[in-house]
Amino acid sequence: MGKLTIGCFSSLVGSLSLDFAVKLSEAAVKKGHKVDLWLSGNAVMLSKKGQKAFRDYSYVQKTVDELIKAGNLQVTACEACAEARGYHKEDTMEGCKRFSMDWYLASCFDADRVLLIGGD
């Protein structure tokens, strides 16, 4: 089995691009692969606590939470991008981490496959 590193800059709600990242992560984990999901720019909000489920809006927090607890998904948010958005360490979902951008490159270093989903 392999390692997939996904970087995502896309907004939490709106474009479904971050939903794609989560669903691809889920599919990869189900097949026994390891996934690192790096969140930067507007995507950092995925790792913020307290998201509410409304049918009109994307809600992926539950899926992310389950995948993290199952063990093969690591979600890491860019600390600077988070702080710039008023999202602090104590606001972070359990199991999600925060690091600087070099963490993403380190994850890519030993990944079998890397996919960056740009900002929208």
Partner 1 sequence: MATTKMGFIIRSLPYKTEASRLALTHAIASQSVEIYLADGDLVEAELFFIGDGVLNCLKKQEAMKHYGNTSIAMHLENALLLDLKVLICKEDVEKFGLAEDMLVMDAESLGGETKAAIVPFSEIQKAMEAVNHLQMC
Partner 2 sequence: MKLGVLMSEYRAGTDTLNRLSAEKLGVIFVGNGAYHATVKENGKASPVLEKAATFYVLAEDLESRGYDASAVDGRVKVVTYSDLVDLVFNDYEKIIWI
Q: Where does this chain bind partner 1 (CB under 8 A)? A: 7, 9, 40-42, 100-106, 108-111, 113-114, 116, 118-120
Taking CB within 5 to 8 Å according to partner kind, which of partner 2, partner 1, none is near residue 33? Answer: partner 2
26 is a site residue for partner 2 (CB under 8 A): yes
Applying CB under 8 A, the site for partner 2 has a residue count of 21
Q: What's the closest the beta carbon of residue 100 comes to partner 1, in angstroms?
A: 7
Q: Strand, coil or helix: what is 46?
A: helix
Cβ neighbours of 80 (radius 10 Å): 14
Task: Please provide the DSSP assignment of 12-45 as one string.
Answer: SSSSSHHHHHHHHHHHHHHTT-EEEEEE-GGGGG
Q: Strand, coil or helix: what is 87?
A: coil
Q: What's the closest the beta carbon of residue 57 comes to partner 1, in angstroms?
A: 20
4: left (phi over 0), alpha (psi -120 to 50) or beta: beta
Taking CB within 5 to 8 Å according to partner kind, which of partner 1, partner 2, none is near residue 27? Answer: partner 2
15 is a site residue for partner 2 (CB under 8 A): yes
Q: What's the closest the beta carbon of residue 100 comes to partner 2, in angstroms?
A: 23
Q: Quick one: tokens of 62?
A: 């539950």
One-letter amino acid of 85:
R
User: Judging by DSSP bridges, how do beta strands 97-99 and 3-8 pair with one another?
Assistant: unpaired
Instruction: Name the site residues for partner 2 (rule: CB under 8 A).
Output: 2, 4, 15-17, 20, 23-24, 26-28, 30-31, 33, 112-118
